[in-house]
Structure 1
């Protein structure tokens, strides 16, 4: 095949193949990039590991020395000689000067104990005296020697020492003998027993050179130490904190990032001390990594060049080989089918379109045939249910044409009524689609369940789903109930669809199908008396099957009068119980017909209306009209729904009657409060005493008081006594014990405990505050 026969337009499969092969060629490029990146990370990781090891050694050395200084500061803060000078004030006496000499001698000993320390100062605020190992100066002299910045004022410097308690490090400049030296200052306050007295601060000076003397950094490597506030403590190789270190790029306790410094990128490794929170930073020029990667780059470029040359040749050969059978197939198909292959089209698209066209025509023909078959079969089953059988056509031919094979001459009919559409109730389907889908599910489930042992035929008739069951020779009693229960359970578990199922009796012959349908319709109507979602058998209806009933109607005059009396008193619980008893008595044995069940419910509503007319004015009749109980009953579909509506109306009526009777019933709590305020000073005042005064039992009295006020009676008694005690405590001349007796507490400890419970402080503290 020549190269000219290959179609290189963008829609051709050749173009797609070319893109695929080029994508395969990109694999070595991606792999090479991955190898280069991985190699870079390995080199970077090794260098970072070496830097981190250096930083860890520096961290351990510095943290160990700083720990020694902090321990020394604790020892000095406990020194009686240093603490004894805190209370000294100006002017100083001879004894004071003698103490200064002794303190300076002690400081020299402390300095000798740790060669890490350059100088020790003790600043006494009360006498404005600063003592070092060599001399005594004041705070101004200390300011001239030690400060964090050259532009810092004395007032700003003094703010640092005015803190209540100091224990921190700070970078400073130490000026001694005319030289300015970078140093680190550790300040610690000496604690006092009297918090109001000015204290003292111990200052340790550590030169940066001494701090970093244990560091041995490599060539072109700079090291810096930053405190918790990102201030430069000490460094080698840099004089001031670079901008990229001052911008808070430290996101963890350790890590590595890149930043620019004087037009040169550097790799910054850092670690953080768990003890001091200081950051130890190492900075290496990034070009050191590039030098180690030059050889790797050269190998990768050679491998990429070879991959592209060989891959291009292989791509061209495979394009020619793979396109030849596709070209032959298209030429053959276009010749035999008459479908022309347009120039510039996609070969696969052409093949798929031709194949889809053939399959679509076949599927449409099958669908049209199947639609007509289902409609004819459904019409035939509806005629069977209604008894309209065409006499001109033999029945066995009709059954054969609809692929129905009868097993026996025994038939029964199940009707399914949808009480709730389950998952499809709030779905996005429009109403006709939702109904059709639910009907389809129910009929398929019924055919599957019943058809496992019998012949099942389903259809939709008058808005209901009917299932005609033709039994086999192994029919047993109770099978219809099991079939109905399985269908209900399946659709409820999988689709949350709730059904009521009506079951006819078993009849002989094809003519019995219409009789069975009428029986199932009658059973479905009895759904008003039964609960929704039940299985209703025709033979269980009053006057049918095995149940012997008399359609008795039970609502005697004495029960109606009893219900009226309960409603008049607003007793909802007994009223609801009486209604439930009447309803249960009538429907317990399933002897009440549907018309009589409706009459019973409306009689109960009439009883409520008569009661309201006897005890209420026209506004109550307007109230019952607003509730509209008759329309609410008419909208119900079952007896239980009617019973719930009657209960809801009954509850509103009883609540309205009780509201009218509650006026003036809350006077007991007011009388009890007045009694407590009058007798709070009595030690015997308690719930029992109050109950005897009002001739009520203590539990009843406590319950009524809590219900009317929302507060426990004992809590109210205690709170009243404490309020009176607060008033008496304002009189400074009265002892606390006497005040406790005046408010009814013979035990001073009990009084103190309750006073602190309600006020948060003791009576003595309260009195001192006043």
Structure 2
């Protein structure tokens, strides 16, 4: 167990697959072996019973035929005791009649008719005197003259005599079957049928299969009538006493001279004969041994195939773990090789990350108000352009915008009490809760001049529905704190980047409280007729193109001309502020597209809040002119230094990271805070190659050096240079060098 705990997960997988494979194979193998033993035994027993029943049936049929012939003879007027002994003529008629019976049944070799107290016996061939028949010609060893007469007079049942050689009938052993006539207590004659032993054996063998069984037939007294195996007679002598006390049918197992035998028997209800089969148990098991051999070979082949598949699946299942290990090593900079069990190593890394995460979460919770205010200010400045990105960023701060129409709202509290500033945060949170289901809003932590600034997302841009919501807020202020407020409301915008414009509008609307009166709700569209900034669409697009193209002189001249036009049109300060906001937002957006957002931070553009500090058109014009000069200067400096600086930084990074399996254009772009297409274009301009070509070249050169140093494990070589697929790398190597890595090693060795 300690060994398994220290084993690599790679081998644990393989051992576990092997155990899982072995258990069912062992159980199935044992079950099949035991099942076949019992099945073969039961099949042999069943087969023996069927065979014995068929043998019994066939012999019973034959014996019944002999009984019927004897009965017919007793009724035949030509074969009465009087006629057959009357004179020679009737004696010859008797022979002819008997021959008819013999000829009509092929099972009978010959038959003999004898009547008590008569000097002759009649067969189908001839007549015999009793003394001549018993003592000379037929010569029964176990049947003398007196016993012959006794059987005729006192035996009312048919009787069979064991096979023996009878001289007149030939060299074959014959079975004698004696049937008294008539069958009654006062019988006065007998019909003896002579049957070849081979006829009975042939009848049995036609039924038996050649599977090593010995078959015996015993009479009702347990004496042997016939056997198919003369060598088994001694064994039958041992078995016969057991059968006398047994039922009419059954199977038993006996051991004779240290050999186990399976004995099946059945007894005929007609004549009391017992039919027995005897077979060695080892012969029965021959089939089982053969099946076991085949099963073992099949199980072994299955086991080997299972091992191969287990190894293959283990490699496939372990591959994600290996990649995860490599990824963790590349991300953490810590080698996990010292930890034998990968999961233990992962557990340590995840535990460390979890601790860091909990620490970060604690810091986030502690700094949540600060983060909340930071993201709301970023939203107000127009630095967050996508709603989904906004909700993802602010999710940890407890704020979430469900709707698509955004407004800026400013509440100016009508009070001179200085203590009101202390409860402004409490008032703001309470007003956030007063918003209905169609509006979601949050207040910025900007508590100056008794103002509360809200960013509110609404389900629709309808000013009528929003007016009711603002009235509800005014009522809550009066009821809860006894404070009156004037509310300035900017236009609703579907783009988060234009929330800053709505903030300028809300401030402008609030400035109209001197005209509209305090404690009123003022919408910007009610006090300003249209927005002339919308007429600057073409101008803004031209500025964006100048920045994209890097046309510094044209951009500077265009901005100067634009400022002169603004002054010449004599537009309001509100419109100029909107134009400046659009211009600043355009510059920020364009610089982001060019991945020059660091220049925006270096220049220090005014945001939407500080933009309101400019109170004259001249101040705004000077600010725009200053922005244009700084933009031109930074773009020119960036362009001049990009050639040398980017090449050195990009090439150095690739030279250090090309062996990392996780290396990619996306990863490199994130590292340098640029978009992948922009990085790809710059890299090719500076090096003359695509990033993929450059990386493949480095990897191939490193492999060539390792091959020259004598390393020959292709899997390890490929992994060392950042590949995971050997065949893919071999294809790239051949495309580059014209030969495979193996051929390269052979050529270099020679």
Structure 2 length as normaliser, TM-score? Answer: 0.32
> Where is the helix percentage greater, Structure 1 or Structure 2?
2
Larger Rg: 2
Structure 1 length as normaliser, TM-score? Answer: 0.31
